[in-house]
Every structure is written in structure tokens, then in C-alpha cells.
Chain A
Amino acid sequence: MLLKELKCPGCGAPLKSKERDMMLACGHCGRISMYADGKVGDVAYSIAASVKESPGELTYVPFWIVNADLNVKKENISGGKISRFITDQKQMRGTRDFYVCAAAIPEEFSRKWNMDLTLGQPKLDIISGFKGGKRAVMTMEKGIAGENAEFLFLRYETEIPGTLQKLEYDFKINSTKVLYLPAYKTNDKYVLGVPYE
């Protein structure tokens, strides 16, 4: 086993980090590059502005945004029709962005965020820097973001009223990119700084 030093793809300076973050910032030129499969490379990412301030420390949480075409060809759900009608259950169908939290945030928050953001498809104000806050560490690799998005769809299908019995669908990924969303952290609690419900 060997340790190979990682260098900034922009300026060539050795990369340093206190935390095991897939997004490594160069201390020399400030460029952020992504670590994957033993290498660092260029990465495009977006940052959303906070529009809902809450008490706590502002932290920008990385998400994989998986844009995919979801075509449900056949579905059989036992029961729950009335409940789905009364509650005006949102549909997870067609082309949409799937939000997959890529940070080591407690699952009680990330599970809800992933579902609500994917169903809500929020309108976001994109800004150029991590204004007034710090980045949360990214722990999820790009390679597994797509399957996590697909599982999110299956989770949705089982969590809606009724009992899923049969399902036939196509899940085609168009693109996968990084988006940082603002969140406010107090102790172990997180509140998102964007409207999403």
C-alpha cells in the first residue's frame, strides 16, 4: 500500500484538509476540486442562497442533483386510493431533479430533505460563493448518487397510502451535479434555509 500526495489540478500546490471531504479546496489558489478514484479533478458546483434565516450556524450542505426521466409503465397499489385523493398526494413522475444529500448529516434530517426537495422542486437563488457560512463535508461519491435517487423513488412509492404490489418503470439519468444548500445548525439539529415543502 502506498500514499500518493494529492495536488491541486489548477496550480499544482499540495492539497491539505482537516476533514475527509470529497471536495478539496486548495489553500494556495482557492480552487475546489473533487476527489474520486484516487485522483482529484475539476468539478462544477452551484451554491444556493439562504432565503429562510434560522438561528444557528450557517452551513452549506452538498447534495447530488440527479436529473432523471422517470417513466412508470405499470403500477398496482392495493388500497389507499381515497387517502391519496384527499391528501392530494404529489406524484413523482416525469423528468425532475432528485435531491440526494451527499453529506454525513443525521439520516433523520437527510431522509426528509431528500424526499421533500425532490417532490417540491424548489426555486433557488444561485450565488457565487459560500456567503457567511462554511461548507459541510461531502462523503457520498458520484457513482452511487443515481441508485440512491432511484431508491428514493421506490421509498416514495412505498410510503404513500396503500400497499405497493407491482411496479414497472424506467429510470434514465440525464445528469448528476453538485449543489450546496444552506442549512442552520444548532447542536445536532439542522434547518434548511430554502423553501422546500
Chain B
Amino acid sequence: MSEAQKILVSMTCPSCGGQVQCEEGEDLVLCKFCESAFALTTDEGANKVMYKMTVDKDKALAKVKAWFGSGPKAKDLAAKAAVTEAYPLYLPFWRLIARGKACVCGIEEQRSGKDNQKVEIPREALINREYIYSEIACEAGDLGIQSIVIPDRAEAISYDDQEIVTFGVTSSRDAAYEVGGKAISQQAVKDGSDRMTRVYFSKSFFFPKAFTLIYYPFWIVRYTYEDRTYFATVDGITAHVVSGRAPGNAGSQSTAAGVGGAISGGAIGLGIGLAIATDGADVGIGVLVVGIVAAIVLIGYFYQRFRYGDEILEGALNGKGLKSGRTQEKVQSIYNETYDYFK
């Protein structure tokens, strides 16, 4: 990933009327025409920026229809789903860009030699890199979105609450800043301790570069299937489906249960058979034990697929259902201009 892309917002110079560019995180603003210096002040102590929606309703619906046909969803979902509403919604996110620095020391345990002896190798690491933390700033838990990655092509515009439908910000600026800084510091320590089995010392810092309240566009698409209501959320700039609920595939559930039962039974049967054939010899008992353990693991896996397979969950959604896709992490590492050191 390249260096964190800073948001630029245009404003009018109060002195000469020229256009001034305000860069995310910079509250000292200069006019390139008259060279006047200004302090950028905000109501809530953080710049507000919104991104221009570039995905239209038709494209959002087309993406949701394509999503109906992906993964272990009901086979006839695309044919039977009826879209009941589709509307644009801007969600607020706190975004903190900061340099994370950490010193981490500890040991790495390795096994080596003929006897597979445990060896402790002293390790130390310095982390010095840029991180971006983002977290949703409103109560939108049922939408399954906790964080965002802003695409390079996103166009930032000045925030105007008259133009958009949005949720109110429910988390405080100070709390979000503190949580974000802590998350970045913790991530720096985690990155430093990657190879360490045990950490004996760690100290971390975060040096903020920008803290912004971002309003990011989405399409919310609600639909029904077999008299039940579901939804999908589409990114208003990349057009990716980022979260949603969908009915599961009943055929896949039965197959999961059948295959799970058959494999588990077979494994135990093989173990018992070998135990009898070898007249209770160690090898036969060993295979039986391995068979039972394997069967327990397989039963557990297929039980999960069977039990929660009635609903598919995409994104950061809680509740019963089969998780699908990847949840966006709150902290991202930026590897450009990294001055890490590992020993």
C-alpha cells in the first residue's frame, strides 16, 4: 500500500477570493495567490469531509444481483429475491492517520538439532511506519460496517449536511481519538512482536498526522425472499458489496450434514476395524484414537455449517449465520517510508 492519501478540500480565501487547498490534518492553511496564512477552525475539533457518490442506483442493484449468485446462498435467490427499496446513505467514520513507533524485545522459540531441542533466540524490533485507523462513528451495527478503506479515486468534497442522508454521530471526538491512537500503538507492538514467542519489553507511541470525520457513501438495498427481509450494502465509490444478509443454500446444508456424518462415521469405523484386526495392538488403538479425534473435528465443522447455514452474513455482522467474505480491519499499515528494524 502506498503512503496514506491525504484528503484535499477547496475553500475560498477570505483575503483575495482565490481558491485555497486544505489538506487533511493541516490546520495551517496558506493561500497560494496572496500568501495569507489562516488557521482552519472546525465546530467539533475535527475536519468534516464527505466523498462524492459515484455509483448510481442501477449499478448498485446490478452488483447486488451478482452477489446473490455468489457463495453458498440460496440457489434461486437471484430469481426469487424482490428488491423492496434501494437508497443512498452516508455513514460517518472517524479516521486517524498517525505514525506508529514501537520498541519491542523478547525471544523467539525454535526447535533445532537431532533431538528437536528448544532454543531461545533473543529478538528486538523497532517499528516506525504510518498507520490509518478508521471506525464507524454512529450506531449502525445492524449494517455490518465497522471500518473503511478509501479508494484512490475517491473525490473529497466539503461536508454539506443539506445534501445527504446520514446517521448522527454518536461517539465523541476525544474518545475516538484516544481509541484510535491506542489501536495504532497496539498494532505497532503487534507488528514488532511478529516473530516473538514471548515479549519482555515494549513501548509504543503514536504521532498524529490527521484526524477527520468522514462521511462515506453507500447504497442500502433491502429485499425479500420467501417472505423474509434481507439487505445488502454497496460501497458508493467502488460498487463492492461490503455487507449483507442472505438466505443460505438448503442443498448445501443437507450435503454438509450428510458428508460430515459419513466421513466421521467412516473414520471411527476404520479405527474400530483396525483395532479388532490388530487384536488391540498399539497401532490399531492409535488409528482408532486418531479416527475419533478427526471425527470430532469434522462433526464440529459440519455442525457449524449445518446449524448456521440458514443465513449468510457478509461484513462485520454479529448473530447466527455463516460468515462469508472478509471484515475490514480497523487499522491498516502503510508500508511506504517505513523505517522498521528487526534483529
Determine the chain A residues whose CB is within 8 A of the CB of B30 once the complex forms. Answer: 17-20
Name the residue on A nearest B207 (C-beta): A144
- Minimum Cβ distance to chain A for residue B326 (Å): 33
Q: Is the CB of A17 within 8 A of B35?
A: yes
Q: Is the CB of A163 within 8 A of B123?
A: yes
Say whether A179 faces chain B, with CB atoms less than 8 Å apart: no
Say whether B56 faces chain A, with CB atoms less than 8 Å apart: no
With A38-B41, A164-B105, A164-B124 as contacts: A1 and B34 at CB distance below 8 Å: no
Q: Is the CB of A3 within 8 A of B28?
A: no
Q: Is the CB of B207 within 8 A of A154?
A: no
Determine the chain B residues whose CB is within 8 A of the CB of A159 once the complex forms. Answer: 341
Per-residue A-contact encoding for B3-19, CB less than 8 Å = 1, 0 else: 00000010101110000
- Minimum Cβ distance to chain A for residue B37 (Å): 5
Which range holds the interface residue count of chain B? Answer: 35 or more
Determine the chain B residues whose CB is within 8 A of the CB of A14 once the complex forms. Answer: 15, 36-37
- Minimum Cβ distance to chain A for residue B86 (Å): 32
- Minimum Cβ distance to chain A for residue B105 (Å): 5
Name the residue on B nearest A106 (C-beta): B337
With A16-B36, A18-B35, A35-B28 as contacts: A165 and B205 at CB distance below 8 Å: no
Q: In the complex, A44 Cα to B154 Cα: how many Å?
A: 43
**Which among A1, A15, A151, A154 is the interface contact of B40 at CB below 8 angstroms?**
A1
Say whether A6 faces chain B, with CB atoms less than 8 Å apart: yes
Determine the chain A residues whose CB is within 8 A of the CB of B42 once the complex forms. Answer: 1-2
Q: Is the CB of A3 within 8 A of B20?
A: yes
Determine the chain A residues whose CB is within 8 A of the CB of B36 once the complex forms. Answer: 5, 14-16
Name the residue on A nearest B34 (C-beta): A16
A interface residues, how many (CB within 8 angstroms): 38
Q: Is the CB of B40 within 8 A of A150?
A: no
Q: Is the CB of A3 within 8 A of B343?
A: no
Q: Is the CB of B124 within 8 A of A158?
A: yes
Per-residue B-contact encoding for A153-180, CB less than 8 Å = 1, 0 else: 0110111000111110000000000000
With A3-B11, A157-B103 as contacts: A38 and B39 at CB distance below 8 Å: yes
Q: Is the CB of A1 within 8 A of B35?
A: no
Say whether B106 faces chain A, with CB atoms less than 8 Å apart: yes
**Which among A19, A20, A107, A166 is the interface contact of B200 at CB below 8 angstroms?**
A166
With A1-B41, A35-B28, A165-B201 as contacts: A158 and B126 at CB distance below 8 Å: yes
Name the residue on B nearest A38 (C-beta): B39
Determine the chain B residues whose CB is within 8 A of the CB of A6 once the complex forms. Answer: 37-39
Residues on B lying within 8 angstroms of A by beta carbon are: 9, 11, 13-15, 20, 22, 26-30, 34-42, 47-48, 101, 103, 105-107, 122-126, 158-159, 200-201, 203, 205, 207-208, 337, 339, 341, 343
